[in-house]
Amino acid sequence: MGDCKNGYFLPTYTSDASPFAFDDRRFSKHVHDNVHGNIYLDRLSLKFIDTEQFQRLRDLKQLGLTYMVYPGAVHSRFEHSLGVYWLASEAVNRLKTCQGLELGIESFDLQTVKLAGLLHDVGHGPFSHMFEREFLPRVCDGIKWSHEDMSLKMIDYIVDEHSIDIDSACLKKVKEMIVASEEGKSVSSDEKQFLYDIVANGRNGIDVDKFDYIERDTRACGLGCNFQFQRLMETMCVIDNEICYRAKEYLTIHKLFSTRADLHRTVYMHPKVKAIELMVVDALIKANDHLQIASHIDEPAQYWKLDDTIVKRIETSTHQDLEESRNLIRRIRRRDIYQFCNEFAVPKEKLEHFKNVTSQDIICSQNSDAHLNEEDVIVTNVKIDLASGRNNPLERISFFQDYDSFEKFTINDYRVSHLLPACYQDMMVRVYTRKPELVKAVSEAFENFQMKTYGKKTQVHATPEKKKRLSYYQQ
């Protein structure tokens, strides 16, 4: 297949006349990525990359507003997309080297998987998941919208707008691979079903998208990572049209999911990160009527113009209609953010029938001398799991014994270690207030709610007294 360098296989370039063959070096471009080293971009992929719609990803931070807490987390969806493109290529090349004859992997397959990796996030909105999960549900009640579906629309728009010559069968499979992880999505053929496991794996959750963002995000935030995706890339094997892994890598795969959960707990769902997100969401909601933000979510021709710079646009505007939004952005700049009051973990025995806590629940639990209004309180219900809800994600993974094996099987975790978790999901309930002077009243109402609901305080510790005493607390 090619040379091996730093644990990665470099592709061999040929002069094959097929449009899906490896490109000659004269027609490809290589860039240096800080995670994966040299990445080689083929001609067709460059046609997508060199468009304003794809270049827009440079202005979408991978981790949204996390950089306000972790200063190094300023990497973008652009570099992540290149990383997923490259790992998708490496995965196909690895399978082709080891099982190419029996699997019938062709250049067409390689091209479709690479493009799926490259374009899987082209439909993300400003500040990534915050736009989809926090902003849109509050301005478009009942709407069913996902960045994956928007990616499909954006791909069609890019192809038409820039007259990209791409085989229709290739384009169809690329789009199927991007939404392969979404429930209810089907593919057009069972042939080479294993290819759909590479970019967005709906079968068991192991895919190169996770490989890249876990490695990239931990580096950017200055955190250690004991998960090595290279081991899984080197040991995967296709059995019965499914990518399987050596049984001895069970704990390596567990580290994949546990590292992802740790990132959610310490980075993506960090209490102050969420506080700032809540403020930006409020600012966007107040600006929505004037800027017509939500009106663009179904029109790629307008949607691609939305990116993280919308906050700067609000901040520097002098329009009267944006004054409230502008003041919220300035509060963030001055670190006068919404106050995180406290949190508690839902008891394990209550998880199955847990119902999301609302601001109204807290208001109804306030002391008689408090005067809290619903707009003073924000409650967030934070779910952190191992990617399969309350189930063990490793139960969905097929393993094989060694490279002479032709049978796949599942493994129960108790056969591997008794130190593995018995519960696979946490639910955290957090309460914030928009006004610093209300921390004490909100904290007391939050404690009253816990007593009323569970008969005890389930929070780890009380809200710090200095937060309760000061009318303004500088973060």
Mention every residue, 6+ apart, whose C-beta is less than 8 A from residue 1.
Answer: 9, 11, 12, 93, 96, 97
Candidate list 147, 290, 319, 461, residue with the active-site label: 147
Residues in the chain: 475
Q: Is the dihedral of CA 218, 219, 221, 226 positive or negative?
A: positive
317 and 411 in contact (C-beta within 8 Å)?
no
DSSP H/E element including 426: strand 425-433
Cα atoms in the Cβ-side hemisphere of radius 13 Å centred on 305: 11
Query: What would the two tokens of residue 141 be?
Result: 């009640």
The C-alpha angle 363, 369, 374, rounded to 5 degrees, equals 20
- Look-up: residue for tokens 């807490």? 69
The DSSP-derived string for 347-391 is: PGGGSTT-----HHHHHTT--TT----GGGEEEEEEEEESSSTTS
Cα(44)–Cα(398) distance, rounded to whole angstroms?
34
- DSSP for residue 242: E
Cα(41)–Cα(88) distance, rounded to whole angstroms?
12
Cα(180)–Cα(200) distance, rounded to whole angstroms?
6
Cα(364)–Cα(360) distance, rounded to whole angstroms?
6
Mention every residue, 6+ apart, whose C-beta is less than 8 A from residue 24.
Answer: 13, 14, 15
Cα(306)–Cα(65) distance, rounded to whole angstroms?
16
Cα(208)–Cα(210) distance, rounded to whole angstroms?
5
Active site residue 147: yes
Cα(328)–Cα(178) distance, rounded to whole angstroms?
36
- The CA radius of gyration of the chain, in Å to the nearest whole number, is 24
Mention every residue, 6+ apart, whose C-beta is less than 8 A from residue 77.
Answer: 57, 60, 61, 62, 121, 124, 128
Task: List the catalytic residues.
Answer: 147
